[in-house]
Amino acid sequence: MKLASLKSGKDGRLVVVSRDLQRAVDATGIAPTLLLALEDWAAASPRLQALYEQLNAGTADGAFAFDPAQAAAPMPRAPQWCDGSAFLNHARLMEKAFNMPPLPDTDTIPLMYRGGSDDLLGPGDDVPLPDEAHGIDFEGEFGVIVDRVPMGVTSAQARKHILLLVQINDVSLRSFGPREMKTGFGFFHAKPSSSFAPVAVTPDEIGEAWKDARVHLDLAIDYNGHWFGNPNGSEMSFGFDQLVAHAAKTRRLSAGTIIGSGTVSNADGQKGSACIAERRAIESIEQGAPKTSFMKFGDRVRMEARWQGQPVFGAIDQRVVQAPAAD
């Protein structure tokens, strides 16, 4: 099943989207928003699935052309957004390039921080930011959305709580990162609003590409119209089941919590990168200094994952722009 939120109010208007992302149908008679559907998933899911089947069969009343430009993030606001760093190849490249000591226990304990979830951007929204000097970067990721998760679940138990898959641009401001990490309090200014592809999908929609609680798909990234990378999500050092269990170790997770994979990264180096910082790290290792600049206002990034040649989540395609001055 594929779900999206059209721009409407603070939390969007829930629609069901066809498998080929060409058609949609209003689903507010089942649940006004995706978050409300997730909070009563046992009741909402069968009805949404039936509507999805009707839409794909061409029998859904009121179907209309799906326009990603009208889509918000699948959840424009979420109870919480917890981002991991599950691709240890990315972390090791950064450590090597910048002579950083390895963090302890990273092979056994996932890294994770809590980002802002009150203002999540849609797939075509401009990303407003205050200053190019802050080191503007994109980060291509996959993520999951869960229902209510009890405190202390095991990874095996956590897997059944994964309801939806999403695709994310975790925008980063690199100049803030070093200081914020040194404080011990974690990221804050370094992580402005994240962006999401228009459609959230149930794991069965990608068939065998959902395996071991990992998304075994290439994430194709173009930067200013040029190929930047297409790393595959299969090389997560921790699966999403482990990330969910880690997040729930000392707290319950509300329905609608989003868990991110961190920057998709592959060890062979042949599939490019999913963020500028990683490319700069590789350039530093191979050439002695970084060559690729961080983003400037007006720069555009496009991210899309496909399964069997067809788009899965739709594309993130957006510019970074100067934020307007505060009133």
220: exposed, middle or buried (C-beta count within 10 Å: 0-12, 13-18, 19+)? buried
According to DSSP, the residues that pair with 211 across neighbouring strands are: 214
Q: Read off the pLDDT of residues 14-63 as tens digits, 9 standing for 90 and up.
A: 999 999 999 999 999 999 999 999 999 999 999 999 999 999 999 999 99
Structural domains in the chain, sorted by start: 2-70 (no CATH), 81-322 (3.90.850.10)
What is the rounded distance in angstroms from the CA atom of residue 60 to the CA atom of residue 22?
14
Q: Tokens 């914020």, residue? A: 180
Q: Read off the pLDDT of residues 272-315 as tens digits, 9 standing for 90 and up.
A: 999 999 999 999 999 999 999 999 999 999 999 999 999 999 99
pLDDT at residue number 164: 98
What is the rounded distance in angstroms from the CA atom of residue 5 to the CA atom of residue 233?
25
Say how many C-beta atoms besides its own lie within 10 A of residue 20's C-beta.
11
According to DSSP, the residues that pair with 71 across neighbouring strands are: 6
What is the rounded distance in angstroms from the CA atom of residue 218 to the CA atom of residue 232?
4
Percent of the chain surpassing pLDDT 90: 86
According to DSSP, the residues that pair with 15 across neighbouring strands are: 4, 26
Kindly report whether the global pTM for this prediction surpasses the value 0.85. yes
Contact 269, 92 (CB under 8 A): no
Q: Tokens 């370094």, residue? A: 190
Amino acid occupying residue 276: I
Contact 167, 316 (CB under 8 A): yes
67: left (phi over 0), alpha (psi -120 to 50) or beta: beta
3-state class (DSSP) for residue 213: coil
DSSP states along 90-133: HHHHHHHHTTPPPPTTTTTS--EEEE--SS-B-TT--EEES-GG
The dihedral over CA atoms of 101, 103, 104, 106, expressed in degrees to the nearest 10, equals: -130
pLDDT at residue number 283: 93
Q: What does the chain come to in residues?
A: 327
